[in-house]
Amino acid sequence: MASTFVTPTVNLTLNRLNEISGGFSPDESWQRTSLMQPSLCTYDDLSLTQQASFTKTITAADISHFIAITGDVNPLHVDASFAARTCFKKPIAHGMLAGALFSHVLGMLLPGTGAIYRSQVLHFIKPVYVGDTLTATLEISAIDREEEQIELRGVIHNQAGACVIEGTSVATLLRGLVG
């Protein structure tokens, strides 16, 4: 029997999510990739101006998955005739979908394994469209060992080099594993 999430606008079974995502399972995917390292990042591994990037092309499937998860069916994202009457002229990707690329950088690359997201501030500069190739980059701007915080400045550029999102992330690190 499938588990079901119910919100006022979304009634989606985990089986359907699995179907539309091509069988993605977080437990399986990290085991198949070399990105996930078994050792935790420590403050000694980090330095100011250290940076990491992740590149992804936004697809219609990405937008469909985002809608399935969030229930955000704002016509600006899904209705071409509506979007044609706006300053954007065509549907745009959800800003938070594009901004979520920072999550990959922070959780998988810098600091990486053991990072805990504490906060994120985003400024949406330009629209993102289906087919745009985005590169999200985070750079360490401050390390406070006493407060156990890492501040990272972030930018996301499109394939033309235009900045579409900028922001600041704050993270901390796990102190260790139990068991």
Q: How are beta strands 4-6 and 51-57 bridged, if at all?
A: unpaired
- C-alpha to C-alpha distance for 127 and 149, rounded to whole angstroms: 31
CATH T-level assignment (fold) for domain 42-59+95-173: Thiol Ester Dehydrase; Chain A (3.10.129)
The predicted structure's pLDDT at residue 12:
40
Q: What pLDDT does 11 receive?
A: 37
Buried b (16+ CB within 10 A) or exposed e, 82-102: ebeeeeeeebbbbbebbbbbb
User: Token match 């091509």: residue?
Assistant: 22
Name, in order, each residue with C-beta under 8 angstroms of 25's C-beta and a sequence gap of 6 or more.
18
**Cα Rg for the chain, rounded, in angstroms?**
18
pLDDT score for 173: 93
Q: Which helix (H) or strand (E) holds 60?
A: helix 60-70
Q: Give the pTM.
A: 0.78
> From the CB of residue 171, how many other CB atoms can be counted at a distance below 10 Å?
23
Closest C-alpha among 77, 64, 72, 71 to residue 22: 64
- Look at residue 13 in the predicted model and tell me its pLDDT: 41
pLDDT averages per 10-residue partition of the chain, 179 residues: 36 44 48 53 90 96 94 93 96 96 94 92 97 97 94 98 98 79
**C-alpha span between 35 and 24 (Å, rounded):** 16
Q: What is the pLDDT of residue 98?
A: 96
Bridge partners, 53 (sequence order): 137
The Cα 152–Cα 107 span in angstroms is: 12
For the chain, domain boundaries: 42-59+95-173
